[in-house]
Amino acid sequence: MNGPPWVEMAEAALARVRQSGADYGDVRILDTITQSVRGEDRRIAGIREGNSRGIGVRVLYKGAWGFAATSVLSLEEVPKIADLAVEIAKGSASLAIEKVRPAAEPVHRDRIATAYRIDPFAVPLEEKTRLLLGLMEVLHRQTGIVRSSANLWTQRDRKLFVSTEGSHLEFDLLALQGEFSATAVQDGRFATRSFNSPHLRLGYEFINDVDWLAEAPRVAAEAVEKVRAPVVEAGRYDLVLDPEHLSLTIHESCGHPSELDRALGYEANYAGTSFLTPDLLGTFAYGSAHVNLIADNTESETLAATGYDDDGVACQKWDIVRDGKFVGYCTNREVAPKVNEVRSRGSNRADGWASMPIVRIANIGLAPGSSTLDDLLADVKRGIYIEGHGSYSIDQRRYNFQFGGDAFWLIRNGKRTHMLRDVIYHGITPEFWNSCEGVADRSHRRRFGFITCGKGQPGQSGWMTHAASHALFRGVDVIRGQAQP
Amino acid sequence: MKSPESKAWPKMTGWDEFHFLSDLVLEHSTADDTFIALFDQHGGTTRFANNQIVQNVDTRRVSYAVTAAFGRRRGTATTTDLTAGSVQETLQRAERIARVSPEDPEYLPPIGPKQYLSLPTARPETAAAGPTRRLDYAREAISQCKMENLNSAGTVSSAFAAVGVAASSGLFAYEQRTDARFSLTVQAGEATGWAAAAHRSIDHLKIQERTLTGIEKAKRGADEPEELEAGRYTVILEPAAVAGLLTWLMWMLDAKSLYKGTSPFVGKLGERILDRRLTLRNQPEHADLLGTGFTGEGLPVFDSVWIDDGVLKQLMYDRFTARQHKIEPIATLESPCLSGERPAGGRVSDLIRTTQRAILVTNFWYIRTVNPIDLTLTGMTRDGTFLIENGEIVAAVKNFRFHDSPLRVFNQIDAFTTPAEAVTSETGKVLVPAMRIRDFNFSSVTKF
């Protein structure tokens, strides 16, 4: 790597921060390499390898924040950036009403690296493009398929975090993902079916271990079946939701409302606030007794399990909803004391060197129950089984939601029958989770990563993983997607 | 296109420097085609909530991308480091990728030299604005809200960017751009009011005026909102709400999807899709829009008509699909203005005054596609939803979820105003009218 040593630059910045008399400061230097291989309609539409390097300096001065960042990594530039961060913090302090007093955290000195067998950047591009082109050829063998996509994505983050408190953390993190889809056309309609090897912190073995080519004919056939399927009849249905689908439901209706900064109004102008206000902590019946939502930033291979967050706080595991009751928030060092917590939950993350860290959703997952998927289906007279992600929207306090899906099957008398199309369900978050009547066991558990969770101004993309087993929900309002004239 | 630099530090990439770096790459390139794209931005955002600063950032970020192609084999590499060694290493990475990339049957070499509109895309007052100016504006908004005993959250941002493209075909374009934004949410208990602005000039953000708008909205909603049943209502959509629907319509104008049969506009090119009074144009030279001289591929931006008297006239073409269909030149739509014949006035109040009963919608939030075939969308009303009766706002109402298609909604228009500036957190900046619309479908109600 070119340029001056990172530690030297980081210490130069910290020295300026200390000289300023600031309460606290930290420095993050990152070198991020992102490779994407994008296939579309039987062709490789693009291969891109991005390299982003830079430094961000965060300063707390008289209880107020300042942050400055640059992609110019030089010993001349870095002190200027540190001075700018101090000046900005002083400006913020002039309007401070309630001073920031970060929750205490031990000093950490550590090195964290993703464990992997096969370095995805060492896998020849020819191997990747061959896989994607082969996949798309298989998809197009199915009569009725008119469009396809197949993508591989991987990212490596090398990061140094140092703080005026003495923490020194080095990171070498990997993440990757693959996906493909097929689109069928029939009678002027079109429908897409997808397959996802979701974002996880693993090596290329994650892609090799899934037989994509074996999955492709099923995906293509289901795209055709979906476009030909009857439209759903609006009404109340029991829903059995698969883990991939639930990952998005959890993200939107539990993850975001459990971010304490939202509950305290920090996001009021953009992402919104939360119906899970601090007065509800420990008492609110968020869901039924089957609902246990656990934040776990210590589970290996998951996106938020980075060892430490961007406050330098060690990753942890805690309850968000226990036996249906709302009991915990995602926090950082700034907001944790506002709900009388003595330590941050370690959920403060930035999406790169140029961003100031903010509270992000943890790896929140639905704890397994004791049923099997067949048990859940058997208990449904008239219902819909939903797989994958589709349309999604939720109000800014996270009450009123609406979800679609990637594929839908009618359940009749305990059996999954034929596919349906144009299925949309909507509801109110706590009413929905209180209608949960069963969760499948650990053998059904799967994990899905998110890397485009939008929040903050300027906007940032948050990374986290949501795990779940299949779950059953009673009497949910289902409508047709197509607008009625 | 050459324009003087206006910042002392950080030193942004000037015309000469971009030219030098481009020549360096082009001279060392062994590829058949080489394309270079620069985006060098310095800017900052002051963010406030609960009437104090919660985030105050200043960032300089460079992106330098090189695409190399051997025949139809193509690869792209990017860097944030503009040193000579780094840009050459970036070229080498792009070439390495291209050599092993499969042939892309849709690959086209970079376009040749073009003439571009010379637009005042960079305003010196915005380029010169730094953390102090942003803080002053934030203080102004916060102070007004505090005087009313209201809670404020918002942002003030400003940015200066040097943008360039160059290619082995002789293409070269460089432009400096500025961008200033203000957005504000005012909270009065459970009620919220909202206002936003975006402009090339930071002097045009009208902080005081827009803060008063947000305050007025929040205060109107401060009484306990009525809960109305979901159903079909006459609505008055303020410009930001119209922008939310229109933006999704514009995003779906992709030509390739239409020709592949996966677009809501299949069979509709040349047909009437909207109320016959409406016309959608791209107006890069409009002083209140954020027009640019060229696109990311170096295509010239120009004035164009997309929907003419309600008839769909234009699609968004990638270069390959444009060549297939003999489309030349390729129109772009980054400065949209939706206007109509015989507007009912210039202000939302002109529509309210003549309305017997309707729901007034300030803004929509979290708009997403529900059914891409007929472009059914869903989303929530946000930051000021009111009941109008007999020409007056009579009550705040709880927020609704809508479930409708702009292709249906924009054919149910009773009346509209002249176009006004609209910018939301989910859309770019557009000029659109406020509209009164019949039978708008609200499918459910939320708790606030």
- Binned at pLDDT 50, 70 and 90, residue B2 comes out as very low
Contact B254, B370 (CB under 8 A): no
**Which residues from chain B sit within 8 angstroms of residue A458, using beta carbons?**
45, 57, 157
* Of the partner residues A52, A395, A402, the one whose CB lies closest to the CB of residue B399: A395
Cis geometry, peptide bond prior to residue B284 (ω within 30 degrees of 0): no
Residue contact A54–B61, C-beta within 8 A: yes
Question: B80 and A52: CB-CB below 8 Å?
Answer: yes
| Mutation for A interface: B366, B408, B441, most A CBs within 10 A | B366
SS3 assignment, position B323: helix
For residue B422, report the phi and psi dihedrals to the nearest 5 degrees: -140, 130
Contacts of A125 in chain B (CB under 8 A): 97, 100-101
- Distance, in angstroms, between B189 CA and closest chain A CA? 12
User: Which residue from A49, A424, A482 is facing B373, i.e. has the nearest CB?
Assistant: A482
* 3-class secondary structure per residue, chain A: CCCCCHHHHHHHHHHHHHHCCCCEEEEEEEEEEEEEEEEECCEEEEEEEEEEEEEEEEEEECCEEEEEEECCCCCCHHHHHHHHHHHHHHHHHCCCCCCCCCCCCCCCEEEEECCCCCCCCCCCHHHHHHHHHHHHHHHHHCCCEEEEEEEEEEEEEEEEEEECCCCEEEEEEEEEEEEEEEEEEECCEEEEEEEEEEEECCCCHHHHCCCHHHHHHHHHHHHHHHHHCCECCCEEEEEEECHHHHHHHHHHHHHHHHEHHHHCCCCCCCCCCCCCCHHHCCCCECCCCCCCEEEECCCCCCCCCCCECCCCCECCEEEEEECCEECCCECCCCCHHHHCCCCCCCCEECCCCCCCCEECCCCEEECCCCECHHHHHHCCCEEEEEECCCCEEECCCCCEEEECCCEEEEEECCEEEEEEECEEEEEEHHHHHHCEEEEECHHHCEEEEEEEEEECCCCEEEEEEEEECCEEEEEEEEEECCCCC
Q: What is the pLDDT of residues B331-361, one digit of tens each?
A: 999 999 999 999 999 999 999 999 999 999 9
Q: Do B60 and A69 touch (CB under 8 A)?
A: yes
Min distance B304 CA to chain A CA atoms (Å):
28
* pLDDT tens for each residue of B138-197: 999 999 999 999 999 999 999 999 999 999 999 999 999 999 999 999 999 989 999 999
C-alpha–C-alpha distance, residues B46 and B53, integer Å: 7
A164 touches chain B (CB under 8 A): no
Residue B369: closest CA among chain A residues belongs to which residue? A391
> How many CA atoms lie less than 13 Å away from A192 in the CB half-sphere?
21
* Record: contact A190-B365, CB cut-off 8 A: no
pLDDT digits (tens, 9 = 90+) for B253-291: 999 999 999 999 999 999 999 999 999 999 999 999 999
Query: Which among B132, B142, B262 has CB closest to A91?
Result: B132
CA distance B265 to chain A (A): 11
Neighbouring residues of A174: CB distance < 8 A, sequence distance ≥ 6 = A114, A116, A119, A120, A154, A155, A156, A201, A202, A203
Please answer whether residues A95 and A62 qualify as being in contact, where contact means their C-beta atoms are separated by less than 8 angstroms.
no
| pLDDT over threshold 60, residue B6 | no
Based on its alpha-carbon atoms, the radius of gyration of chain B, rounded to whole angstroms, reads 24
Strand partners, B62: B40
pLDDT of residue B7: 58
Is the CB of A224 inside 8 Å of chain B's CB atoms?
no
Q: What is the pLDDT of residues B11-30, one digit of tens each?
A: 999 999 999 999 999 999 99
Q: What is the pLDDT of residue B3?
A: 42
Which amino acid is present at B89? E
State the nearest Cα–Cα gap between B425 and chain A, in angstroms.
7
Residue with tokens 């400065």: B335
Q: Do A188 and B55 touch (CB under 8 A)?
A: no
Q: At what angle do helices A77-93 and A6-19 cross, to 10 degrees?
A: 40
Whether A358 and B48 lie within 8 Å, measured CB to CB: no
User: From CA A392, how far away is CA A195, in angstroms rounded?
Assistant: 18
Res. B384: pLDDT tops 50: yes
Could you please report the per-residue DSSP string of B391-406? TEEEEEB--EEEEE-H
The b-or-e profile of B290-318 (16+ CB within 10 A means b, else e) is bbbbbeebbbbbbebebbeebbbebbbbb
Beta strands in B13-135 (DSSP E): 33-49, 52-70, 73-79
A186 → chain B, closest CA residue: B261
Could you tell me if A422 lies within 8 Å of chain B, comparing CB atoms? yes
Q: What is the dihedral of CA B400, B402, B406, B410, to 10 degrees?
A: -50
* Contact yes or no for A71 and B62 at CB 8 A: yes
Given a contact cutoff of 8 angstroms between Cβ atoms, the answer to whether B275 and B246 are in contact is no
Chain B residues whose CB is inside 8 A of the A268 CB are: 49, 151, 153, 185, 187, 192
- The CA distance from B168 to B202, in Å, is 37
Reply yes or no on whether the pLDDT at B9 is more than 90: no
d(CA B331, CA B312): 14
Instruction: Please say whether the dihedral angle defined by the alpha carbons of residues A283, A286, A288 and A290, taken in this order, is positive or negative.
Output: negative
> Which residues of chain B are within 8 Å of residue A29 when distances are taken between CB atoms?
none
Chain B nearest-CA residue for A268: B153
Interface probe for B, chosen from A1, A92, A358, A394 (most Cβ of B below 10 Å), is A92
pLDDT at A243: 98
Q: Residue A391 and residue B86: Cβ atoms within 8 Å?
A: no
How far apart CA B350 and CA B348 sit, in angstroms, is 5
How far apart, in Å, are the Cα atoms of A152 and each of A39, A140, A164, A248, B164? 9, 19, 39, 21, 29
Residues of chain A short of pLDDT 50, as ranges, are none
Least Cα separation, residue B228 to chain A (angstroms): 15
Inter-residue contact A364 to A297 (CB < 8 Å): no
Count CB atoms within 10 A of the CB of residue B327. 15
Q: Is A46 on the interface with B (CB under 8 A)?
A: yes
Average pLDDT, chain B: 96
Select the residue of B51, B60, B382 nearest A396 (Cβ to Cβ): B382
The per-residue b/e assignment along B198-209, b for 16 or more CB within 10 angstroms, e otherwise, is bbbbbebbebee
The count of other CB atoms within 10 Å of the CB of residue B119 is 21
The reply to whether residue A69 touches residue B374, judged by beta carbons under 8 angstroms, is no
Compute the nearest-CA separation of A69 from chain B (Å): 5
B271 in helix, strand or coil? Answer: coil
Chain B: residue whose CA lies nearest to A422: B371
Q: Which of B13, B17, B52, B135 to mutate to test the interface with A (most CBs of A within 10 A)?
A: B52
Place of tokens 């059904």: A444
Structure-token pair, residue A66: 């300042």
B214-226 per-residue burial string, b: 16 or more CB within 10 A, e: under 16: bbebbebbbeebe
Structure confidence at residue A2 (pLDDT): 59
Q: Give the pLDDT band (50/70/90) at residue B428.
A: confident
Q: Does residue A87 sit at the B interface (CB-CB below 8 Å)?
A: yes
Q: How far apart are CA A399 and CA A252, in angstroms?
A: 10
pLDDT of residue B426: 75
Q: Check residue A4 and give its pLDDT.
A: 77
Whether a cis peptide bond, with omega within 30° of 0, leads into B10 is yes
Which two three-digit tokens encode residue A412?
């009749």
Neighbours of A10 (CB within 10 A): 23
Backbone angles phi, psi at A394, to 5 degrees: -150, 150
Number of A/B CB contacts below 8 angstroms equals 266
Structure tokens given for A461 = 């993309």
Residues 6+ apart with CB under 8 A from A122: none
| A265·B49 Cβ contact <8 A | yes
CB A213 within 8 A of CB A139: no
The answer to whether residues A310 and A163 touch, using CB atoms and an 8 Å cutoff, is no
Q: Does the beta-carbon distance from A188 to B373 stay under 8 Å?
A: yes
Q: Any idea which residue has 């439901």 for tokens?
A: A249
Report how far Cα B39 is from the mean position of its chain's Cα atoms. 18
Query: What's residue B427's pLDDT?
Result: 75
Residue type, A93: A
* CB contact A125 to B (< 8 Å): yes
Chain center to CA of B107? 28
Q: Is B9 exposed, middle or buried (0-12, 13-18, 19+ CB in 10 A)?
A: exposed
In the block, residue with structure tokens 């109004």: A265
Return d(Cα B34, Cα A399) in angstroms, integer: 51
